[in-house]
Amino acid sequence: MPSLGADMEAGTLVQWRVAAGDTVARGDIVAEVDTDKGVIEIECFESGVVERLVVEPGAKVPVGTVLAEIRSTDQLPPHPTGGATAPSSAPAAAASVPASTAVPLEPPRPTPERRVRVSPLARKRAAEMGLDLSMVQGTGPGGAIQVADVERAEPKVGPPGPAQASPLDSMRRAIAAAMARSKREIPHYYLQTRIDMSQAQAWLRAQNQQRPIEQRLLPVVVLLKAVASALRDVPQLNGFWIDGEHRLADAIHVGFAIAMKGGGLLAPAIHDVDRRSCDELMADLRDLIPRARAGRLRSSEFTDGTITVTSLGDGGVESVLGVIYPPQVAIVGFGSIADQPWAEHGMVGVRPVITASLAADHRATDGHVGARFLDAVAHHLRAMENS
């Protein structure tokens, strides 16, 4: 069970898309997993032949649990312990994050494949309280959850009863956990700057005039492209803070915040934004947004983000100061593009202006780096007509 986010502890296998004996290649979708964030398509991170499906559909298992065993095509028949399975050892735990990211999204869990240890009494009490044991930290021997841990845990909101927590509740909890961790652990610093969008808008208009309506570009594509280009100039903001260490990512996968209808939020990754054309990015967004809202994202999209962009321009706000999604080290915010007075060359004119903001992890970078990054974003947006 891959980790599909820093806050994910367990997932429910919804269905297998492969059967024992099938040949699979890295990147193939092999299963669907239900998480706090909806149903996610799990991509395979090994190539080979499916030896055995270990987990049955319907089972909820902790992150790190072996889901299936795959025999590599260049490997001897498997060791009886299922050594061919990726997440069965500590080094492989990192590989349980799909391999397109060089940096693991979170530190390997100390005991990835072990069953969660819960005392019988604690399990009974949690069921009575309607408490999800995956939200409980065990303090007993070997981290076992005991009844005291259950009783310490936050009681379920709302009237008691056997009713299942709704997916929205669990997404809310996941957001709460990630954001609380972020604000607890990450010393944020904030910078913002106003950017003249005249050139970018002119470029967009010119581009869109040549396109049928369904292929027209939205301003957000330009913003994403500018962020990716700026990250090439200032790579320090593209990466992670893990185990007290700043690790740069070697690709630019931008997590794009998408609001869910009915509340909640996902930030699936758009891969290699710096290497994608604006048309390709637009196609990515047209594919991604409906899938995110339908709860059908792929595992790599959950785990691969190296920075997050949140654009609240549609809501009419002037600016947004974001909360970093751990273990990332930065989040870029954009407000709405609005006509504003703009002084330049001793003249005051009216220009379309956007406020770009940066919230960054002060453990990883300093304000000077952040300032250079925002300046680079502004530079790339103003230079759009040349691209």
Q: Give the shortest CB-226-to-other proteins separation in angstroms.
A: 52
Determine the Cα–Cα distance for residues 330 and 190; give it in Å rounded to an integer. 10
The CA-atom distances, in angstroms, between 330 and each of 37, 83, 116, 186, 224 are 22, 37, 33, 10, 14
Tell me which stretch binds other proteins (CB under 8 A): 138-146, 181-189, 200-208, 227-235: 138-146
Q: Give the shortest CB-149-to-other proteins separation in angstroms.
A: 9
Q: Does 124 bind other proteins (CB under 8 A)?
A: yes
Span 15-54, contacts to other proteins by CB under 8 A: none
Using CA of residue 116, residue 269, residue 86, residue 249, what is the dihedral sign?
negative
DSSP 328: B
Determine the Cα–Cα distance for residues 296 and 118; give it in Å rounded to an integer. 32
| The token pair that represents 117 in the structure block | 């240890």
CB of 63 within 8 A of CB of 11? yes
Tell me which stretch binds other proteins (CB under 8 A): 94-102, 129-137, 144-152, 236-244: 144-152
User: How many other CB atoms are there within 10 angstroms of residue 117's CB atom?
Assistant: 15
Q: Does 148 bind other proteins (CB under 8 A)?
A: yes
CB of 228 within 8 A of CB of 254? yes
Q: Which is nearer to other proteins, 91 or 162 (CB)?
A: 162
Tell me which stretch binds other proteins (CB under 8 A): 133-141, 165-173, 250-258, 295-303: 133-141
Q: Does 139 bind other proteins (CB under 8 A)?
A: yes
Q: Which is nearer to other proteins, 39 or 147 (CB)?
A: 147
Instruction: Find the helix packing angle between 219-233 and 367-382, rounded to 10°.
Output: 130
Q: Does 122 bind other proteins (CB under 8 A)?
A: yes
Determine the Cα–Cα distance for residues 235 and 248; give it in Å rounded to an integer. 7
Q: Which of 120, 316, 341, 346 binds other proteins (CB under 8 A)?
A: 120
Q: Which is nearer to other proteins, 118 or 195 (CB)?
A: 118
Cis? peptide before 327, omega within 30° of 0: yes
Q: Which is nearer to other proteins, 128 or 233 (CB)?
A: 128
Q: Does 130 bind other proteins (CB under 8 A)?
A: no
Q: Which is nearer to other proteins, 144 or 369 (CB)?
A: 144
Q: Does 131 bind other proteins (CB under 8 A)?
A: no
How many residues in the shown chain lie near other proteins by CB under 8 A?
12
Residues 6+ apart with CB under 8 A from 78: 51, 69, 71, 84
Q: Give the shortest CB-128-to-other proteins separation in angstroms.
A: 11
Q: Which of 17, 123, 194, 293 binds other proteins (CB under 8 A)?
A: 123
Q: Does 283 bind other proteins (CB under 8 A)?
A: no
The contact mask relative to other proteins for 308-347 (x = CB under 8 A, - = no) is: ----------------------------------------
Determine the Cα–Cα distance for residues 367 and 234; give it in Å rounded to an integer. 12
Q: 343: which strand partners?
A: 348
Q: Does 93 bind other proteins (CB under 8 A)?
A: no
Determine the Cα–Cα distance for residues 94 and 99; give it in Å rounded to an integer. 9
| The token pair that represents 258 in the structure block | 């998408």
Q: Which of 101, 119, 236, 328 binds other proteins (CB under 8 A)?
A: 119
Tell me which stretch binds other proteins (CB under 8 A): 142-150, 229-237, 319-327, 339-347: 142-150
Q: Report residue 363 CA to chain centroid gap.
A: 21
Q: Does 117 bind other proteins (CB under 8 A)?
A: no
Q: Give the shortest CB-109-to-other proteins separation in angstroms.
A: 21
Closest CA to 108 of 129, 92, 127, 131: 92
Q: Which is nearer to other proteins, 122 or 330 (CB)?
A: 122
Q: 296: which strand partners?
A: 39
Contacting residues toward other proteins, per CB under 8 A: 119-124, 139-141, 146-148
